């Protein structure tokens, strides 16, 4: 399994990333459980883990070996305020290198279902605190497109495509930063309450430096609604 994932990630990483850039590549797996707790209220619980299979820092050789990076658990309570809009807030706890990081989250979502396309806008503000680092504040915007691959809507036992583009402004006592993310995924709607997605995600940040930091992730996600 390790050799299969490592080979796949090696193929999707450009040669320039392997030769000179700072990068990380690995798998990002998550389980999302949505629970309806009232007519207009939902609780989303997400468990996410990241594993690194290849990495490189400036002026050092690349390292190709398995490394567990971190696990995130977060809870978001959302309220539907209109046909297309929801607002929410929540909390994330991260386990990394034996220490805990805490994050507060506030978000707004707008989802419009067009004739053959679903368009989603998401704005998120979050604040991250840990014992070893200075507080970090981020403002995020994500545009998501979802397209059925059979017919005009995604029915049970059908595939769909997803494209996400996200921009993160990162602020702390150090220099501010910008991170850009892009995701291309293939989803399978097993039932109205159960779907899985497999995708490739690319991230880049540290634009102020001579060498940009890049990330390449093979994403695996399972979504369950209760």
Backbone φ and ψ for 3, nearest 5 degrees, come out as -65, -35
The pLDDT of residue 15 is 47
What residue segments make up the domains of the chain, in order of their start?
2-225
What is the full per-residue pLDDT of the chain (226 aa) written as tens digits? 545 445 555 555 554 444 557 899 999 999 999 999 999 999 999 999 999 999 998 878 888 999 999 999 999 999 999 999 999 999 999 999 999 999 999 999 999 999 889 999 999 999 999 988 889 999 999 999 999 998 888 899 999 999 999 999 999 876 789 999 999 999 999 998 999 999 999 999 987 767 789 999 999 999 999 9
Whether 216 contacts 24, CB under 8 Å: yes
Whether 195 contacts 171, CB under 8 Å: no
113 contact partners, CB below 8 Å, separation of at least 6: none
pTM of the complete model: 0.88
Helix (H, G, I), strand (E, B) or coil at 2: helix
The pLDDT of residue 17 is 46
Helix (H, G, I), strand (E, B) or coil at 5: helix
In CATH, what is the architecture of 2-225? Beta Barrel (2.40)
Helix (H, G, I), strand (E, B) or coil at 9: helix
Q: How far apart are CA 120 and CA 144, in angstroms?
A: 5
The pLDDT of residue 108 is 98
The pLDDT of residue 172 is 85
Q: How far apart are CA 88 and CA 183, in angstroms?
A: 23
Whether 105 contacts 73, CB under 8 Å: no
């Amino acid at each position: 399994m390790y050799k299969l994932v490592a080979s796949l990630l090696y193929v999707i990483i450009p040669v320039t990333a392997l030769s000179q850039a700072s990068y990380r590549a690995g798998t990002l797996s998550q389980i999302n459980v949505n629970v309806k707790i009232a007519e207009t209220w939902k609780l989303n619980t997400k468990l996410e883990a990241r594993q690194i299979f290849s990495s490189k820092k400036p002026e050092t050789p690349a390292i190709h070996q398995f490394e567990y990076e971190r696990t995130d658990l977060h809870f978001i309570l959302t309220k539907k305020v209109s046909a297309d809009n929801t607002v929410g807030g929540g909390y994330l706890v991260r386990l990394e290198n034996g220490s805990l990081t805490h994050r507060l989250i506030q978000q707004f979502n707008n989802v419009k279902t067009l004739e053959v396309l679903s368009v989603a806008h998401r704005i998120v503000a979050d604040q991250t605190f840990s014992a070893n680092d200075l507080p970090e504040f981020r403002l995020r915007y994500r545009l998501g497109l979802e397209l059925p691959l059979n017919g005009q809507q995604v029915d049970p036992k059908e595939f769909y495509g997803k494209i996400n583009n996200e921009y993160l402004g990162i602020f702390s006592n150090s220099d501010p930063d910008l991170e850009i993310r892009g995701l291309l995924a293939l989803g399978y709607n097993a039932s109205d309450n159960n779907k899985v997605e497999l995708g490739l995600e690319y991230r880049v940040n540290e634009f102020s430096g001579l060498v940009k930091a890049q990330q390449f992730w093979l994403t695996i996600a399972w979504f369950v609604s209760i």
